[in-house]
Structure 1
Amino acid sequence: MSEIVIVNTRPEHIDQLVQHQRICFPTLADHELMRREHFESQLRLFPEGQHVALDGDRVVGQSSTFRISGAIALAPHTYHWIVAGNFFTNHDPEGEWLYGADMSVHPDYRGRGISRMLYNARKDLVRRLGLRGMVGGGMIPGYVRYRDQMSPLEYAQAVAAGLLTDPTLTPQLRAGFELRGILPNYIEAGELGNDSTLIVWENRG
């Protein structure tokens, strides 16, 4: 098994990242996906907040973040609005929270701990910058099987209680995130639904 390494995203990774988005998020609306101009803007505004997982020269995972104030990040919001159409122009160099805009692992590489490695890179950045923690909106792809039985909040709470397992929320909880609620109509995710979780990881030193 080859060694996976996490490094800061560089311009030469962008072409792969554009394809990586479409592979990892086939149900997302086109305007929700990150394109070349988005990755270029993210690198220009906050290069230390962008990471890729590499298998040799191949991009197999990706993480995009920016800084923001808690007054904005912890209030109700949509993905498209808070990430400024994926350009990250809402990035606040003085923001006390790291906003996790996007994280993905190539389907062929899932189950190898890459998301944990990417979350650890984010945590290291939070600690290095002395931020309060991380905030994000997370898709709940497993909810599609339960949508006729419970609300998104009930489903997320069941996952948080360990009664159900979700492909996205369960790893986030294992990474130390706490469920803080639901963000209605957060993202256009097709059959997976548009509601997402509001998750928070606090930097406790």
Structure 2
Amino acid sequence: MLPLPIRSAREDDIDAIMTLEAHGFHAPIRESRDVMRKRLRHFPEGFLVLENIAGEAIGYLCSEIWTGMAPDHRHFALGHDIAQTHHPDGHCLYISSMTVHPQQRGSGLGRRFFQQSVALIRDRRPHLQDSILLLSAEWIGAHRIYQACGYAEVARLPGFFTAIAQQNAEAIVMKLTFIDGDA
């Protein structure tokens, strides 16, 4: 698989990141510009951007490192302060947000971006042992992508996505345990 043009996000990417956020998530679950800036400043190695041929951001992945899997929904809360949850020496990579531009969806680019981003972060932080993420039970396409990448459901948080749910407000917590040479 050819490497995608992925790089660490910069302060001047914030407008593009916020546009992607608006295209990727319903208003009640979008992160604010302030939260995104804090995450970018606190863990720039874990905030990655996918560029198109013109050098424009067409996707982003935001992450942090935790000491272990979150015990309850508060760790996953919208707008949580990365300074309180991120521990550089932790062993669990938490993917807090990821999206690609709507025109890129369905092409397989999102999955490739996700896989290569996780691999890049693992290269930079080889002590990582596993990764977790959270998604709405209604996001069937995303669920399939993460399963294809080796993630498995480990918990459900009832009512977590009440603000956007049409039928099922549960959040699914998925986990991948890294095996040496895996990403």
Normalised to the residue count of structure 1, the TM-score between the two structures is 0.75
Secondary structure, aligned partner of 2:159: coil
Q: How far off is 1:54 after superposition?
A: 1.2
Give structure 2 stretches of 5+ with no counterpart: none
Identity of aligned pairs, percent? 21
The match for 1:67 is: 65
Do 2:51 and 2:57's aligned partners in 1 also have CA atoms closer than 8 Å?
A: yes
Q: How far off is 1:127 after superposition?
A: 4.5
Asked if 1:102 is matched to 2:97, the reply is: yes
Q: How far off is 1:83 after superposition?
A: 5.3
Give the counterpart of 1:198 among 173, 177, 181.
Answer: 173
Give the counterpart of 2:118 among 122, 143, 148.
Answer: 122
The match for 1:178 is: 152
The match for 1:155 is: none
Aligned counterparts, 1:125-144, within 5 A: 125-129=121-125, 130-142=127-139
| Aligned amino acid, residue 100 of structure 2 | V
Do 2:61 and 2:117's aligned partners in 1 also have CA atoms closer than 8 Å?
A: no
Q: How far off is 1:188 after superposition?
A: 4.6
Once residues 163 and 119 of structure 2 are traced to their aligned partners in structure 1, the CA distance between those partners, rounded to angstroms, is 27
Q: How far off is 1:190 after superposition?
A: 1.5
The match for 2:10 is: 10
Q: How far off is 1:46 after superposition?
A: 0.6
Give structure 1 stretches of 5+ with no counterpart: 143-165
Q: How far off is 1:84 after superposition?
A: 6.7
Larger radius of gyration: 1
Give the RMSD, CA atoms, in angstroms.
Answer: 2.2
Do 2:60 and 2:100's aligned partners in 1 also have CA atoms closer than 8 Å?
A: yes
Q: How far off is 1:200 after superposition?
A: 0.5
Q: How far off is 1:126 after superposition?
A: 2.4
* Closer/same/farther in 2, CA of residues 60 and 121 from structure 1, 3 Å limit: same
Count of equivalent residues: 173
